[in-house]
A and B are shown apart, each in its own frame.
Chain A
Amino acid sequence: MTDAVLTSGPDAFEETLGRLSKKAGVRATIVLDRASGAILKTSGQLSSIRNTKAPGSSMPAVGSFSSEASGNSASEDQGAEELASMVWKFVGTAGSLVQELDTEDEVKLLRLRTKKQEFVIVPDTKYLLVVVHDTSSA
């Protein structure tokens, strides 16, 4: 609980995320607005996540993305947006699953392990944080 008074907001924010992205194996972090899906902050090589995505690997995306391999050369922003969109949809789907099981329940943490990496997603009421990191061995 870092005090917002003593550490100016953006600094602490940058510092916290910076430290997170400096951890071994962390490839990217994204902060999204929960309601709109607007990207608030990204770091790391987002394009690398898409690049490593060979056809057939388990991404949370729908099938339509595999046909989009040509889009990999797009800019970093584009990559971030796409990834954000996929993650956002994934969280939405997970959320609806939980809602249908129990309307008073909510998603607290999503860990999606694939052969190559892991997505750790913390959805909150207003924002959501995604960290993509390598899994050392699988």
Chain B
Amino acid sequence: MTQPLRTLRLAAWLGWQLETNWASPWLFAIYMVVKPVCGSLMLVCMFYAARAAAGAKVPAEFLPYLYVSNACFGLIGTVMFGLSNAVVTDRERYRMLKYIYISPAHFRTYFLGRGLARALEGTVGGALNIAAGLLLFADLRRAMGGEGIDWLWLVVFLGVGSAMLWAAGMILAGACLNMSRNGMFLSEGIGGVVYLLSGVVFPIAVLPVWIQWVSRALPTTYWLEGMRRALMGPVPADTPILRGPLADWSNAELAGMLALTTAGLVVVAHYFWRWNERRAWRLGKLEENAGV
């Protein structure tokens, strides 16, 4: 039992060191704030551009929807991209992946540890992003101040969500085991697809019906809906533009569906990782370098 814990601790420590020790603490703090806030501000600019062009048709509630969704999605992006990046850099740059593989450390636990470091970074980034939004935009203050944060559901969604994040990250990291350095771009691309299908910047009702069913098969859709509800309360009934097919679900139904789809994702991640690990071992990909 101590071996997996030691692996977890060391991997998390290593991940944190690699993420942070490249810069002075001040530069790192700027990095933690600027990146997510600028991403959200771009959406805010889109909102105002659309409002300027379409007038009153765009409700004020659209801005907090965009902002909070995007801030929460940052956590998904950080962990998913972070895990595949861990595979690529450990193999291509530090050339340590093969040594970790042959060590007594549990390979998957090692990546869980690396993911923990990224999750911490993503959580802090997300919180800072929302804090900046609260400071800058009255619409966001109104939305989050209305019913206040539902801490119980926030903990529930974050708890189940962490299993979802790890599973999603392991699927991408597994794929990267068999890919060259370009695996990093794959994970970014997949991140974009999940961004689309989970309805981060629009309610999924806008999507064609058959795509909506794909969205409803993804745990990220339920997680984001749950996080929005926990932070801002349910979508107001007088803004039909923001009401998607999940608007009438209760929090318990959302959490149940999130748990169910996450369980499915964990099973897929388990087998997909195992298959990729064996394939990489068979093809000698664990130590292959391919610079372009």
A and B together in one complex: no
A contact set with B: CB distance below 8 Å: none
